[in-house]
Structure 1
């Protein structure tokens, strides 16, 4: 009967079945403010970026090669094969480390919180270790005449000085049109300028600058390109050829070219050799660095967590190397045999692995990552961001506490 009441006698179409609510659609019902804040914090916690295992693995493996190279140094003059391997390692281990440093410096600007991290994480450790190393030499080597100089980086501290300068200039490299060619031009000019001197180790700062700028220019997909299977396979003959070239170059090329701490004239070469060697080594370093990155595992490994402590391993292993040099540990004849050299290599890798571990980080965090909240003014913008991240209950308690303290202060003043 009801059907006959419809126009033209048409039957009414049945209603569609109820669909389950869309979890991604916005809920039209208003929610309490506290629930919204909790959901926002939960979303931020779950969507926060995690550390990329590839970069932590790369940093750890690079710092192992740095330590191994330093422990090889006392033996390289007696073994041509070892010196060839030494040259190959020195061609790419610091460039790889510097490229990663540049890549993670892309977001650096002059914001107060980032400047504070630069000071506490780079400048303060530089001052501490630039003071500690000469004092260590005085005690271990019985050299009371050795002076402390913050302008002349000693041994490993040059990297901290360079990183501080590179990061401060990051906004410039992000503003110019062709940053990498400009950085290469500066490095080439530095290689023919012996007048630069040793202050702040500017030769190294300028000659290693292109690798840092390259890291600033790189994106995540660039690292994906070198991690393809074809590149991993091609890296095998590339490294084999590099070792052969290194073996050939041992009696023909000064090792100083690979340190990037002297000009061509200071290495006994004509001035025009500086730019040529700078470009040649830059190309070789990039090739071997790409091959090195291709072999770095991208998944979580047993040593992945150690990648967060590479600065600890870098700065602390130098004390052991210098102690061995001062005390004559490397002069034992057994260490100059193949088995002894293998033992030195394994020991160097084990030592730097231990120095990157969490227990060592906890002990030396005061020197590597001091908070130094007492030394800086409180940033108003950062305070506002911290208040926004506070849970509602804690914020209400803080506001009540602040209001109570304000009233007590006013009553005290009026009394």
Structure 2
């Protein structure tokens, strides 16, 4: 079985190499480790948001993390979406692994934020992704367009051109957070273009050593840029004109941010251990941690935890980071996944026609 036939969903999209009959399929520890470490950084970034205004150092680290943590996540998602071909089996996985969780969590976040934000009249809208659900909407769009990117001759330059044009188009509405989906598209397409040897290349010891001064220089530059640059550029959710600059800044920033993010993603992946670690198994539950930790963040903000003095001290910021990492780690564990599997990974056999044995390649299973 080829490793690209195992793209069930973000939280469970890890390849299984050939195994002898009767032996369990083995997951790739490197990608599980990368997914777990990336989701920890996502949670930390959300925890740092209330601390940015009073700490230049926290804001600098925040900018660095936002420059590569979601790009890394999206690149890996693209890498494990290479086998998507719009077959009945893959469409079923797309619906059960992305569409259903999107509908459930978009509804749940809307109801929850009615309480946390004090907006009891907030309407439920499946076209306007709320908070973290934008990623599921974008992943749905990216996956559907995968056959296109696999067919064209220059997929990455075309994706970059699409992202650049989106950054110049303020009229793109909020439907499915299309602005974000288009501006983050190049990272997904890059993942589609990558091969195992590319990941082996960035994991060489020379790259790991070189990543140290690169990250150090990036941190120094980020600290310098804090009062000079709006970190919202890294969110990729608005056009250039929103920042009060000419529209032609958009393509320039698209290329510049893509280059910077690509370098930092390579540095990050070079440091990801390839062997099995204590957190490796948690890599299979990153979608759970991603979607569930938002409720903890929203509840904490409702109780105004950041208005206390201690989080704004150096030790307080470290403590907040540890708490965020701990919370998202717990949410990736097997017991939590068992509780929420019904909405995160529903089987829904009743909703689909049976997949005939001749409709897929030998050795492919309906569920990864």
Correspondence 1:275 to 2:260? no
Aligned pairs for 1:113-262 (under 5 A) are 113-262=89-238
1:194 alignment partner, SS class: coil
Q: Which residue of 2 aligns with 1:102?
A: 78
Aligned pairs for 1:28-39 (under 5 A) are none
Q: CA RMSD in A?
A: 1.9
Aligned pairs for 1:324-335 (under 5 A) are 324-335=300-311
| Conservation of the 8 A alpha-carbon contact between 1:141 and 1:327 | no
Q: Which residue of 1 aligns with 2:331?
A: 355
Q: CA deviation at 1:128?
A: 0.4
Q: CA deviation at 1:142?
A: 3.5
2:66 alignment partner, SS class: helix
Question: For the residues of structure 2 that align with 1:333 and 1:376, how far apart are their CA atoms?
Answer: 54
Is the radius of gyration larger for structure 1 or structure 2? 1
1:270 alignment partner, SS class: coil
Change in Cα spacing, 1:190 to 1:327, as seen in structure 2 (3 Å) is same
Change in Cα spacing, 1:388 to 1:357, as seen in structure 2 (3 Å) is closer
The total of aligned residue pairs comes to 348
Structure of higher RCO (CA pairs closer than 8 Å, 6+ residues apart): 2
Question: For the residues of structure 2 that align with 1:45 and 1:178, how far apart are their CA atoms?
Answer: 42
Q: Which residue of 1 aligns with 2:20?
A: 43
Q: CA deviation at 1:43?
A: 3.5
Q: CA deviation at 1:113?
A: 1.1
Q: Which residue of 2 aligns with 1:346?
A: 322
Unpaired segments of 5 or more residues in structure 2? 1-17
Aligned pairs for 1:361-380 (under 5 A) are 361-380=337-356
Change in Cα spacing, 1:223 to 1:384, as seen in structure 2 (3 Å) is closer
Change in Cα spacing, 1:186 to 1:52, as seen in structure 2 (3 Å) is same
Specify which of 263, 271, 291 is matched with residue 295 of structure 1: 271
Question: For the residues of structure 1 that align with 2:315 and 2:109, how far apart are their CA atoms?
Answer: 31
| Conservation of the 8 A alpha-carbon contact between 1:57 and 1:296 | yes
| Conservation of the 8 A alpha-carbon contact between 1:161 and 1:200 | yes
CA deviation profile, 1:22-45 (whole Å, cap 9, x unmatched): xxxxxxxxxxxxxxxxxxx99334
Question: For the residues of structure 2 that align with 1:157 and 1:385, how far apart are their CA atoms?
Answer: 33
| Conservation of the 8 A alpha-carbon contact between 2:166 and 2:182 | yes
Change in Cα spacing, 1:204 to 1:384, as seen in structure 2 (3 Å) is closer
TM-score, normalization by structure 2 = 0.91
